[in-house]
Every structure is written in structure tokens, then in C-alpha cells.
Amino acid sequence: MYWYDGKLCDSTTVQLDVTEPGLLYGATVFTTLRVYQQSIEHPRSIWLRHLRRLQEAVTAFDWPSPDWERLREEAQQLAAHHPVLRVTLFPDGRELITGRSIPAELTQRQQHGIAAWVADEPQFRRAIPGNKTGNYLPAWLALQQANKRNAQEAILTDAEGCWLESSTGNLWGWCEGQWWTPPLDVGILPGLVREEILDRAIDRNINIVQRSWPSSIVSKFKALAYTNCVVEIVPIRTVIRSSDDTSLSFDPTHPSLDVLRSLLEGDL
């Protein structure tokens, strides 16, 4: 079941007009949240951050606001049945809220890490990176190419070859006794798990370096991971470089990953 424009629908399809901008141009904004204990109000669900993301995007694009209270109520109803929700907004204020399961292989990936492929061609660079829009084609294409190389994630780069983010999340690297993550001003999505970790690091006086990631920095990393709201923290054990098909190796069980996990989990 899903909610669409104020109606609860029992179907796996949704009917859209053939002139719908969301269909033709990817003109939507969305956020994907993981639901804890069947409630969007649970602190780990960080609903207020997700709500703020949607509100800021609607304001930035000068779109009419949906009924925010109705949106919350609809999301909570689905949260009782699904551990992951995607909330999508259309340019005229309509909402589409769908639910899905946690990825079946997530625990294994969290424990043993994944392989990633560096997608360093211009076609893989995301448009409007500061907002989570429905135009996800570049990142999706990068992920498909990664999958063809038996990698589970793609790493996007800028014109100088600096690593930016993964196709579905933010990047974290460990070296010189501290965690590093690319800054927002290099053109990455402001991930909500990223915000949670950075805010809690400040509260605990833990320094996290926010600096661009040229190859000279990447080569120093002992541990590497990516984050998003659904997978939380997933180590990256191997990175395949597209330029020469050589690879970099990282420790998916490095003790520093416990620091990152503790920052995300907080005192809850």
C-alpha cells in the first residue's frame, strides 16, 4: 500500500498524467528514512531532519507546500508496516509515500564491507547536488556500471578526480588518527546521517576533517565507509579504479569504524 495525494492505495502502480513533470523531467524531491520501532517519532528515525529536507527543497524550488501535518500522519501509518519509507513531493504539492524492506544483504555488508568502483566520467556527476531530486539518473547509471564490475557501490568524482560521494550516500575515510569526509561546498548531497554524525562529533569534541579528497588524501586512508539513512554505516573494503582497473584495499574491521558507529547511535 502507499499514500498518493491524500488517498491510501492498495496497489503496486500509480497513475500519472502523461504530461507530469515528475515523469518527464524527474521534477520531484524526496527523502528516504529508516523507521525504528515502527515510529517516525523515534529519535533514530530523525523525522524532523527529513521533514526539514523536504521543506527546504520546496522553498528553494518555489513549489507550493503540501499539507505537512497530513504528510506526517500518512507516513506514520505506513511506518507501522514498513521499516523504510520514501516520501516524494511533486511540483504541485502532491505527495507519494511508499514503503519497502531493509536490504536482505545489509548485515553481511555491514560486517564484511563491500566493493566500490570509481565513476570518474562527467556523465556520472549529479545535477543539483544540494537537494535530493527525482533526477537521479547519473548516480543510477554509475551504480549500474559498478554492478557490472561486481561492485556494490559507485564513487562519484569532480572534474579534478577528487572523490565526492557514493552513488547512494556520503563517504568517510580514516587516516592520521581521525575521520575525514568531503565538505558540502565541493558539491555533494547534505546527507542526514552525515549531519547526525557531525553534530554528535561536535558534542563529544571529536574532530572530523571536512576537506576535499584528491588522490593524495585517498591513498592515506586505512578505513573507508559510506553512510545513508537506510544502510547506516557500511565499510568499503575494495575500490576499483576505472582508469586502470587496479584496486585499493581498506580494512572493513578497522577499530575506527566503532567510533563512527558510536557517533551515529549516540546515547540511544
Summary mean pLDDT of the chain: 96
pLDDT at residue 230 above 60? yes
- Can you read off the three cell numbers belonging to residue 237? 573494503
Tell me phi and psi for residue 15, to 5 degrees: -95, 120
- Going by pLDDT thresholds of 50, 70 and 90, the confidence category of residue 79 is very high
Task: Give SS3 for 29.
Answer: strand
Q: What predicted TM-score, i.e. pTM, was given to this entire model?
A: 0.95
Tell me the CATH number for domain 2-100.
3.30.470.10
Report pLDDT for 120. 94
CATH-assigned architecture of domain 106-265: Alpha-Beta Barrel (3.20)
Listed in sequence order, the residues at least 6 apart from 26 whose beta carbon sits closer than 8 Å to its beta carbon are 133, 134, 135, 136, 137
Distance CA 191, CA 184 (A): 10
Give 22-42 pLDDT, tens digit per residue. Answer: 999 999 999 999 999 999 999
pLDDT at residue 242 above 90? no
Give 167-200 pLDDT, tens digit per residue. Answer: 999 999 999 999 999 999 999 999 999 999 999 9
Report pLDDT for 268. 39
Report pLDDT for 207. 96
Q: What number of other Cβ atoms are within 10 A of residue 50's Cβ?
A: 21
